[in-house]
Amino acid sequence: MARPRPQKKAGQLLQLAQRSRQYVKQASWTKLALLAVTIPVLIVAVLFVFLFTGVMLGAYGPLPDAEELANIENADASSIYAADGPLLGKYFQINRVSVPAEAISPYVTEALVATEDARFFEHQGIDARALVRVAIRTVLMGDRSGGGGSTISQQLAKQLYPRQRYDRLGVLKMKLREMVIASRLEGVYTKPELLNLYLNTVPFGENAYGIEVAAGRFFAKPAAKLNLQESAVLIGLLKANTTYSPRSHPDKSTGRRNVVLFLMAKNGSITETVADSVAQLPLVLNYRRDNDRVGSAAHFRQRLRGDVQRALADIPHPDGRPYDIDRDGLRIYTTIDSRLQQLAEEAVREQLPRIQQSLAVDWKSSKEAPWNEAFWGVLKRSAHYRSLGAQGLDSEAILDELRKPRPMTIYDWRTGGPVDTLMRPLDSLRHYFTLMNAGLLATEPATGTVRAWVGGVDYRYVQYDHVSSRRQVGSTIKPVVYATAIQSGVLPCEYTAAAQVTYTDYDDYRPGNPGSKYEGAYSMRGGLSKSVNTVAVNLAVRGGLPTLAEKINSMGVEQPVQPVPSIALGTVEANLVEMNTIYSAFANQGRRPTGIHYLTRIEDASGKVLVQFEPPTATRQVLDEQTAKIATYLLAGVVNGGTGARLRSTYGIRGALAGKTGTTQDQSDGWFLGFTPKLVVGTWVGAEYPAVHFRTLSRGSATATALPIWGTFMKKVQRTKGLEAYQGGSFLALDEMTLALLDCPDYLDELPVYANTDEFAPDRAITARLRQFDREQIVDMVQDKRRRSNESARDYADRIARELEKEDHRQERRQERKESWVKRLFGKRE
């Protein structure tokens, strides 16, 4: 069949055009007007029916039914709270915290309605007047200042069921779908409920979802306490989160705030006078960003996450699924004191820059630092290096790639925060490899309750938790050495020579003292306060190394300790949790807590308690009370005149105080463990890898690293009002007999002949005589027979022993006389 020729087709079109013109000329104007209206309306109607049918059939996305809408659950962040109330941080995928309507300021809802949907209470999800306005003013006249036609219900539908992309008529399809969902929402929820759901759902920028998170982000307060101008600022953000951000664009935010205020006045929510007055106020923010890597106690919160997940493992959600810590809006309560936590973080931030600078100065004159070999080993194990290797690059090509500068954000130890810079990846890896870090743990001695936990510097860049990391503990283990020796029978005033000794039974182990000082002899107080290595090893061997190893484990170190002489100098590896437990035994009269405690309860989003953790009351006796009190006395000597004396002289810390420094080999680790009657605080300073260490003892000893952080923290604690629960107190007093046993010089130029030690301490014979009696008998006798001013320790002990023996003999004679009279009067009895 032949196709029509092009000339014929063009002719037909021309004829049609001529007929149309003729019809227009002949038709009346009313008929033409009717056609002009009817044809577009029919086209729009057909298009609407077609699209609406597609919406209802789910062609543009599934439509939720009433049951689904009634059970809408936003993914809510779980919140972690300090013992004194403040929010420490959150766990989330979407940073949202839903709150009830009564927990939202009325200004917020009034501003929302006035700005986004003035006739919200008059329509059922679709505002016909607004749609007509949009059609005439925005579409036909091109004036976009009149705003959109979406109601609050439609905007909520858009948030709950996000739009999909389509090639043609996509916006119109989605608008129709949102209208249907909005209408269904209006049938399920009341108007106040819709407002509450909306305010808990919408984003306010910077990954802050819901009014509660936005109020905390920009004004550091809950939504219930937002004032008029703050509410206007936040509602103004809904038009364009980035454009009107009060942090990034304060001028635009202020202008948008004023628009909201005048719309509220127009809507009758406030008067024009109030709007004018508030519009004159400056924009004032109290910005506080929080997320899973920013906020207080970030390292602690990551440890806590695992504990919460384990605690909820056997508790199902009401819908049968497991609880999701990132979505279910849990409320997690801890023992952390937010004030102590803040002071601890401040102490670390204030001291670490100085310590980092000291490391740089220490190696400034050296051609090459000793850790270069270790650095290359770490580099080759890094994820970046391995990923490049997986792409087929050889070592040289990888290094070439790592030497190419690129923009990056790194942690700057000088400012204690992030900095944008241009840096080679190789230099970035070296930067973190040599970065000095710190850990601080504050606990209560009787229960192990955690009050402050600082795992390191900025968690965004260094996730390794230095409270939990295990390192050699140095001289902080020496108090256990001395306590073990005391319990084995060594007297506090038995002098030990500082001379260097070779221990042939232990592979010729030969410990040394810093500065090669081996002169004189030390009492226990002197040896511990000056941290003399040779004295500590001597006491460890005399007290029994197997006994010492067992004692270290029983007091808190979890990994098995080998009975070798070097453990007396801290070759034992432990973390701050274990070391705080050990020092708790000294502070708590020989009883150590069974572990640390930091999680008190977990609630669901409605406040129902899911798990309750009672404060621990059980303790374990690891030292007899008298030994613990003597050890505390010795440790007090460390801060009153030994290696910890700067706590008094430099930091001005008052009251009862005891503690011990610890520096490991090559100054790789600095420790300070100390306690007051109310708190046990441990600090550690070092790099992530022990290969990075100080060159000199003067800059790298614990006295110069860990002690200043400890001192800064405790100084702040003592001078901060409201922390009386952690201030003051006193250690249990020693009785006069024990004080007599401790009354001897710390140091003698030479070791005295043992036969002539009477003026320093009782001899073993007197001690053995005293041990025949109960402690209560000795205490009663000491209270009755006070020490004379001119009486030596030995003479006083001998007198107490004689008085006790006399009393014992008198009791024996009384018993003999009693038995004699019974025999005389009543004869021999069975």
pLDDT in tens, 121-150: 888 877 767 666 655 554 444 444 444 568
Lowest mean pLDDT among 290-299, 321-330, 432-441, 592-601: 290-299
Output 804 or 325, whichever has higher pLDDT.
325
Cα–Cα distance for residue pair 811/269, rounded to 1 Å: 94
**Per-residue pLDDT, 526:** 95
Per-residue pLDDT, averaged over 162-185, amounts to 68
Residue-wise pLDDT tens digits, 309-341: 999 999 999 888 899 999 999 999 999 999 999
Q: What is the DSSP secondary structure assignment for residue 96, as one 8-state letter? A: B
Cα–Cα distance for residue pair 319/263, rounded to 1 Å: 43
Say if residue 172's pLDDT is above 70.
no
Quickly count: other Cβ atoms within 10 Å of residue 207's Cβ. Answer: 14
Residue-wise pLDDT tens digits, 57-78: 565 566 777 777 777 778 889 9
- b/e string for 547-564 if b means 16 or more Cβ within 10 A? ebbebbbbbbbeeebeeb
Cα–Cα distance for residue pair 276/347, rounded to 1 Å: 46
**Per-residue pLDDT, 127:** 72
Residue at 47: amino acid letter: L
**Per-residue pLDDT, 68:** 76
Decide: 706 and 671 in contact? Cβ < 8 Å: yes
Residue 335, C-beta contacts closer than 8 angstroms, at least 6 positions apart: 83, 449, 450, 451, 597, 598, 599, 600
Pairing relation of β-strands 521-522 and 496-497?
A: antiparallel
Cα–Cα distance for residue pair 727/714, rounded to 1 Å: 9
First to last CA, the chain: 146
Say if residue 730's pLDDT is above 60.
yes
Lowest mean pLDDT among 22-31, 91-100, 388-397, 655-664: 22-31
Residue-wise pLDDT tens digits, 469-523: 999 999 999 999 999 999 988 889 889 999 999 999 899 999 999 888 999 999 9
Q: How far is CA 721 from CA 137, 340, 456, in A?
A: 62, 12, 26
Rg of the chain taking only CA atoms, in angstroms: 39
**Per-residue pLDDT, 292:** 55
**Per-residue pLDDT, 169:** 56
The answer to whether the pTM exceeds 0.85 is no
- pLDDT, averaged across the chain: 86
Say if residue 39's pLDDT is above 50.
yes
Lowest mean pLDDT among 52-56, 408-412, 443-447: 52-56
Residues paired with 412 in a beta bridge: 417
Say if residue 633's pLDDT is above 80.
yes
